[in-house]
């Protein structure tokens, strides 16, 4: 019986190693063996937070209540905007990120993830970012998603987009059932860079030939790791850093740009402890749809 158990010495390095070990690549023709591109998901590849859209889909199927959904949204809502690395907040996010699927079978969550992507996420993909990913594929380079989202959901997104694979937060399972705990830590901030380093060692990548894309200053460790960094729909801190370092900046937001900047992109799996302002922003956003 296969068991994926939590490591006791968790942290960014362990989370990165675990994520890289769980990464499964799709085969590709005429590959460029030493170059790859790494894309963040939330507000980089997709408008909004993938884990929240997934949670909404589960709630609509009766897996938990609307009250639970709001509690989840608030609990996950956001040092994503401020980059809060408070260890207590990180610990809280780690313990709650997958609690809502505890007791569920992995195969069932993957099936639901496919359904929910098709009905609630596919039309949230930024065409401009998708085109950038495709340009790397066309050049024979592997394209990986790197996200705090649970790896099973991240793989669904990668597969639906025809990408190479995904690095994501790895959850503990016993006999194919989620325990509601994580293996290592959230794949967030420095952990993403550690995951890419580990994957590069495994795949023989030359990081100076690799590219990375993100919207958040939280991903500066990842963006600074590669030879070609691009800020996509950047927050203020990342935009300033990109300008100072002469990185490319691309903004695919349209009339909702101001809203997307103001909203604490609720519920990224690495986000924590919002507040009343986050709740109000969420309610207003979803009432407007």
Positions annotated as catalytic residues are 40, 42
Q: Any alpha helices (H) in 6-164, and if so which ranges?
A: 12-22, 50-60, 66-76, 87-96, 106-116, 127-138, 151-161
Task: Tell me, rounded to whole angstroms, the distance of Cα 99 from its chain centroid.
Answer: 17
CA-CA distance, 216 to 40, in Å (whole number)? 9
Task: Tell me, rounded to whole angstroms, the distance of Cα 77 from its chain centroid.
Answer: 14
CA-CA distance, 109 to 105, in Å (whole number)? 6
CA-CA distance, 156 to 154, in Å (whole number)? 5
Beta-bridge partners for 86: none
Q: Is 106 exposed, middle or buried (0-12, 13-18, 19+ CB in 10 A)?
A: middle
């Amino acid at each position: 019986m296969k068991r994926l158990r939590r490591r006791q010495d968790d942290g960014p390095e362990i989370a990165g190693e675990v994520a890289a070990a769980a990464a499964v690549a799709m085969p590709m023709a005429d590959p460029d063996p030493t170059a790859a591109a790494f894309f963040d998901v939330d507000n980089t590849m997709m408008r909004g937070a993938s884990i929240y859209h997934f949670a909404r889909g589960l709630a609509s199927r009766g897996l938990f209540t609307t009250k639970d959904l709001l509690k989840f949204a608030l609990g996950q809502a956001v040092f994503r905007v401020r980059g809060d690395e408070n260890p207590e907040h990180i610990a809280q996010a780690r313990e709650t990120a997958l609690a809502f699927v505890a007791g569920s079978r992995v195969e069932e969550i993957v099936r639901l993830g496919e359904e929910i992507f098709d009905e609630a996420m596919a039309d949230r993909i930024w065409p401009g970012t998708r085109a950038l990913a495709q340009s790397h594929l066309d050049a024979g380079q592997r394209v990986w998603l790197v996200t705090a989202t649970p790896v099973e959901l991240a793989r669904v997104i990668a597969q639906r987009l025809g990408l190479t694979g995904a690095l994501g937060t790895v959850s503990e399972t016993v006999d194919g059932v989620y325990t509601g705990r994580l293996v290592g830590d959230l794949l967030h901030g420095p952990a993403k860079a550690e995951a890419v380093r580990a994957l590069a060692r495994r795949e023989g990548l030359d990081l100076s030939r690799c590219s990375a894309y993100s919207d958040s200053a939280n991903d500066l460790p990842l963006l600074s790791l590669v030879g070609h960094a691009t800020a996509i729909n950047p927050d203020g801190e990342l935009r300033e850093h990109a300008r100072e370092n002469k990185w490319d900046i691309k903004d695919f937001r349209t009339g909702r740009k101001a809203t997307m900047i103001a909203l604490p992109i609720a519920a990224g799996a690495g986000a924590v402890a919002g507040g009343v302002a986050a709740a109000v922003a969420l309610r207003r956003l979803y009432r407007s749809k």
